[in-house]
């Protein structure tokens, strides 16, 4: 079993229970959106927050640019994939991230190898 270290990972909640972001995953941020205005199971229940079995996912580099996913966000991603998404983003396993999000692989959206090798763990 492979272990990926994720030191200094931080979690920031969005206002109105709309989701959260997880920073410092190998130099990238994972954004999770739930509730109204997001592509998830509880999007149209009229109540922000509450339980959901799916989530909207986006991945950004340290400049705030979307990376990896062909359409910038992936909707209706099963919440039970969250831990594996974190591990694969931190490990820069972009094809596996696309698989977990049920998205087509578009390598033109993957961060460049040069950028990936020079990531700053404090970002």
Q: Rounded to an integer, what distance in angstroms lies between the CA atom of residue 4 and that of residue 13?
A: 24
Query: Is pLDDT larger for residue 43 or for residue 79?
Result: 79
- What pLDDT is recorded for position 45? 62
- What pLDDT is recorded for position 32? 96
97, 105 Cβ separation under 8 angstroms: no
Give the tens place of pLDDT for each residue, 11-26: 999 888 789 999 999 9
Q: Rounded to an integer, what distance in angstroms lies between the CA atom of residue 5 and that of residue 42?
A: 32
Going by pLDDT thresholds of 50, 70 and 90, the confidence category of residue 122 is very low
Q: Rounded to an integer, what distance in angstroms lies between the CA atom of residue 87 and that of residue 95?
A: 13
The ranges assigned to domains in the chain are 10-111
Going by pLDDT thresholds of 50, 70 and 90, the confidence category of residue 1 is very low
Q: Tell me the whole-structure pTM to 2 decimals.
A: 0.83
Give the tens place of pLDDT for each residue, 60-87: 999 999 999 999 999 999 999 999 999 9
Mean pLDDT, the chain, rounded, equals: 85
The C-alpha angle with vertex 123 and arms to 49 and 62, in degrees rounded to 5, equals: 75
DSSP per-residue codes, the chain: ------TT-EEEEPGGG-EEEEEEETTEEEEEE-STTSSSTTTTSS-SSS--SEEEEEEE-TTS-B-SSTTSEEEEEEGGGHHHHHHHHHTT-HHHHHHHTT----GGGSPPHHHHHT--TT-
């Amino acid at each position: 079993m492979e272990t990926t270290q994720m030191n200094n990972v931080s979690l920031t909640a969005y206002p109105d229970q709309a989701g959260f972001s997880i920073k410092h995953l190998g130099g990238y941020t994972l954004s999770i959106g739930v509730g109204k205005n997001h592509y998830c199971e509880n999007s149209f229940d009229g109540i922000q927050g509450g339980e959901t079995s799916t989530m909207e996912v986006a991945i950004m580099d340290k400049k705030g640019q979307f990376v990896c996913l062909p359409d910038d966000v992936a909707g209706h991603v099963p919440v039970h994939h969250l831990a594996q998404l974190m591990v694969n983003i931190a490990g820069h396993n972009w094809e596996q991230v696309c698989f977990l999000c049920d998205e087509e692989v578009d390598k033109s959206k993957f961060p460049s190898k040069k950028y990936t090798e020079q990531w700053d763990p404090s970002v």
